[in-house]
Amino acid sequence: MFANYLIGLREGLEAALVVSILIAYLVKVGRRDRLVVVAGGVALAVAVSVTFGALLTYTSTSLLADFRSQEIFGGTMSAIAVVFVTGMVFWMRRTARSMRAELDGRLSSALELGTFAVVLTAFLSVAREGLETALFFWSAVQAAGSTTEPVIGFSLGIATAVVLAWLLYRRSVRLNLARFFTWTGAGLIVIAAGVLAYAIHDLQEGGVIGGLNTLAFDVSEQISPGSWYGSLLKGVFNFTPQTTVAQAIAWAAYIVPVMTLFFLGHRIRSGQPSQPSQPSQPSEPSQPSEPSGPPPVPSGSTS
């Protein structure tokens, strides 16, 4: 449940922040009449994402009748989900600072083109997050081997994200978004490593990868899958007491370089000396600006 709560919280907050930026821009420029249009685009994106998740479930259970095909399909989709969520984690870390300016520019152009362009902008901004979330959540549920607790955890995460986004929009809470996305991103990398190991096991059962009976370790006697701690390890890390060599290699080959790049890569970029700026010419005192409405989405603290 915790792993899926983290997925819902992290992905839900990203999507909710995108929506709040779009709303804030419309309020700022005095185009409240377009709020219902943005809501329509967001609702369409949510519907498409839910439909995509349902299609994955239907395809894996109904269209693929034999066990081998189901395992190959599940393993392939889980591997694709790991690729997408990894790219998303790094993308969010890199572009968080410019997200507001980018969305404001898109929506400004869309307002000039008309209603359809506004709907399309809202739809594309949210659908990207929604489709990735649906795929990763589906893969995490398959890995967890449960149908109720992951859904409950994911739903609670989404609900928490919506409340947090609303409180941030209303300036009722302060949240260091840079720190939030850093540590939740690290958590998602750990979860993705477990999903990748599960994908390898599925592909082994489907006959695509060999070594199904070649175990790296077997701690079934020490960690019972039916115990509370076994269930906790399974739910959070997708840990299995019987892990094949291929699974262990894939897990380590993913988490070590990805986690290293996630933390050290950011520090290296942050530590690069900036180019010396040219001395600026004296300018006239600036006029006080109009209030800009709801706060932007910074990479540091926000209110």
pLDDT in tens, 78-116: 899 899 889 888 887 776 666 667 777 777 888 777 778
Average of pLDDT values for 64-77?
82
Of 17 and 176, which is predicted with more confidence?
17
pLDDT at 296: 47
pLDDT of residue 234: 75
Q: Confidence class of residue 257 from pLDDT cuts 50, 70 and 90?
A: very high
pTM of the model: 0.71
Q: Which helix (H) or strand (E) holds 216?
A: strand 215-218
User: Over the chain, what is the mean pLDDT?
Assistant: 78
At which residue do the structure tokens 């209110």 appear?
Answer: 303
pLDDT tens digits, 175-202: 677 777 788 888 889 888 988 998 999 9
Amino acid symbol at 248: A
Read off the pLDDT of each residue in 253-259 and give the average, rounded to a whole number: 95
Q: For residue range 166-181, list pLDDT tens digits in order.
A: 887 777 667 677 777 7
Whole-angstrom Cα distance, residue 301 to residue 303?
Answer: 7
Return the percentage of the chain with pLDDT > 90, whole number.
15
Of residues 302 and 234, the one with the higher pLDDT is 234
With a CB cutoff of 8 Å and minimum separation 6, the contacts of 26 are 32, 34, 35, 38, 107
